[in-house]
Amino acid sequence: MRRPMVAGNWKMNGTQAEAAALVGGIEQGLAGVRHAEILVCPPYILVPVVAEWLSGSRVTWGGQNLSAHKSGAYTGEISGSMLRDFGCSHVIVGHSERRALYGESDQTVAEKFRAAQSVGLVPILCVGETLAEREASQTETVVARQLDAVVKLAGIAAMDNAIVAYEPVWAIGTGRTATPEQAQSVHAFIRARLAQLSATVAERLRILYGGSVKAANAQQLFGQPDIDGGLIGGASLDVEEFLAICRAAG
């Protein structure tokens, strides 16, 4: 059985005071969340305080991005080992906002994935198509290309220590969620594609759905056989919404 996960991607949001209220609220409401694994991914600058507040909690924390490099003259960048130094267990790689706004190619994302694993971080690899790609029936082609770039560089065994998040770009921050059937179909495709290389790895891999997940639609999405939880943007900034989503995941 795959343990469900709910991860909050705070994106570029939050002051220290807001983060404190959010983390405090999540901690207080955890009793109702049975066995889902809960992760929060604050902006880099809030990682140290979040790490302090969550020390000893069952909620883990991670980064939203990392450098593909280990250290050195990369002004403004943060390495995987720096995230590890502040207790991060996971890191998001290849979020569509990084791909679209910061020009991250499939190759860069694959290198970041490998950099994360090399320091013991579990990468959450984001894949997903744009609206134009979906309308051109390119969803599977795009998702396969994004996935294959990582598997080619890191190897199929590396997927055993990773999480995949399917985030259709057209559903991110738009309020337009993929239907449970649309999401399930792509999740099943991802699992089947990896199963061609290793059925065991594919079966164990957790595949999260992201894109306008809210308390109101979480249960239906998480009820699909290949959806193992969610990567939550906007709704992860609201304590009650986020906790309700966590409860929906089990």
Contact 224, 184 (CB under 8 A): yes
Segment interacting with ligand 13P, rule: CB under 6 A, options 100-108, 178-186, 227-235, 240-248: 227-235
Q: Is 231 in the site for ligand 13P (CB under 6 A)?
A: yes
Residue 95 or 134: the one with the smaller Cβ distance to ligand 13P is 95
Nearest distance from C-beta of residue 200 to ligand 13P, angstroms: 28
Dihedrals φ, ψ of 169, to 5°? -60, -35
Please, which residue, 173 or 223, has the CB nearer to ligand 13P? 173
Extract the tokens encoding 188: 């099943």
From CA 89, how far away is CA 87, in angstroms rounded? 6
Site string for ligand 13P, 75-104 (x = CB under 6 A): --------------------x---------
Q: Which two structure tokens, joined as six digits, stand for 223?
A: 């009820």
| Entry field: residues in the chain | 250
Segment near ligand 13P (CB under 6 A), from 99-107, 130-138, 148-156, 205-213? 205-213
CB 6, min distance to ligand 13P, A:
11
Question: What single DSSP character describes residue 74?
Answer: -
Q: Which two tokens stand for residue 2?
A: 């795959």
Q: How far apart are the two ends of the chain, measured CA to CA in Å? A: 13
Which residues, 100 to 129, sit near ligand 13P by CB under 6 A? Answer: none
The residues near 83 (Cβ < 8 Å, ≥ 6 apart) are 47, 62, 63, 66, 91, 119, 121
195: Cβ contacts below 8 Å, ≥ 6 apart: 202, 203
Please work out, in degrees rounded to the nearest 5, the angle formed at the alpha carbon of residue 5 by the alpha carbons of 204 and 110.
Answer: 65
Enumerate the active-site residues. 95, 167
Of the candidates 70, 128, 121, the residue with the CA atom closest to the CA atom of residue 99: 128
Among 159, 210, 243, 247, binds ligand 13P (CB under 6 A): 210
Binding segment toward ligand 13P, per CB under 6 A, in 53-61, 137-145, 153-161, 232-240: 232-240
> Rule CB under 6 A: is residue 131 a binding residue for ligand 13P?
no
d(C-alpha 84, C-alpha 225), whole Å: 32
Under rule CB under 6 A, residue 14 binds ligand 13P: no
**CB-nearer residue toward ligand 13P: 167 or 226:** 167
Contact between 223 and ligand 13P per CB under 6 A: no
Binds ligand 13P by CB under 6 A, chosen from 167, 226, 228, 241: 167
Please pick, from the candidates 18, 173, 192, 204, the single residue that binds ligand 13P as defined by CB under 6 A. 173
Which residue ranges make up the site for ligand 13P (CB under 6 A)? 9, 95, 167, 172-173, 210-213, 231-235
